Chains A and B, each alone.
Chain A
Amino acid sequence: MRHRVSSHAEEAEINITPMLDIVFIMLIFFIVTTSFVKEVGLDVNRPSNAPIKEQKISEVVAIRIDENGTISVQNREVDIRAVRANIESELATKPEASVVVISDRNADAGILVKVIDQARVAGAEKVSLAAMAR
């Protein structure tokens, strides 16, 4: 049996109590302020007003929304449920085309989001947003 020699190590220890107090206060602060809620949303590409590059009209799938919420794809009036199929067929003939949503200023934002959503479902990666001239 080994006899334990009592040492004076305890007296030489650093007092960590104040550090612990601070650590606990920080812990409580971060627990209280943390919010894990993240918004769910769609990315919308809003090109700047400066003219960047001319896009040929043949390379654009234009979707118009008028002030009553009527949607037209390439100047054909369509129902909201048919938007996806229409964009899909347009993109099938012009795979390089970019989708531009041109909305009237008085149209509801809800319809706009629905149209952008449908365009994304149809396979358009980048959907740009434009407003009709006032």
Chain B
Amino acid sequence: MARRHAVQQEETEINITPMLDIVFIMLIFFIVTTSFIKETGIDPNRPEAETAYKQERGNILIAVNEAGDIWMNKRKVELGQVRQLVEQAKNESPESSVVIIADQKSSTGALIDLMDQIRLGGVANISVAAELAGG
């Protein structure tokens, strides 16, 4: 029984269906996992904490540096603008919570004023960024 070679007259095209499947799965994966985090623009010295955990919904980042300046979306903002900016950010992604990245040396008063403004902006879930101790 002689084995016949497959005739390759018509089937010269590469089958791209498996590649397409993978591309679509990747696309869906990236669409689902993407969260558009806006960087604050500065990188303060975070305090250390043992019980800190990953803030899965912390998409609104606000940083406070040593001098008490507030940074959001890569620019410095005044305390009075924070409320409006938080409201805007909340409109874009209503599920988000706010993470304040406060410098170790920043004053508590600045932090508390900022928290009150964020609450006025309509976000009640506020957390303070920290580094895992010993990590």
Contact = CB atoms under 8 A, between A and B. Distances in A.
Interface of A: 1, 4, 6, 20, 23-24, 26-27, 30-31, 33-44, 46, 48-49, 65, 103-110, 112-114, 116-117, 120-121, 129, 131
Contacts of A35: 35, 37
Contacts of B101: 39
Interface of B: 4, 7, 10, 20, 23-24, 26-27, 30-31, 33-37, 45, 47-56, 58, 61, 64, 99, 101-112, 115-116, 119, 125-133
Contacts of B35: 35
B51 A46 contact: no
Contacts of B51: 42, 117, 120-121
Q: Main SS of the interface on chain A?
A: mixed
Given A44-B126, A105-B108, A109-B111, 7 more contacts: A1-B4, A30-B34, A37-B37, A41-B129, A43-B127, A106-B108, A113-B130
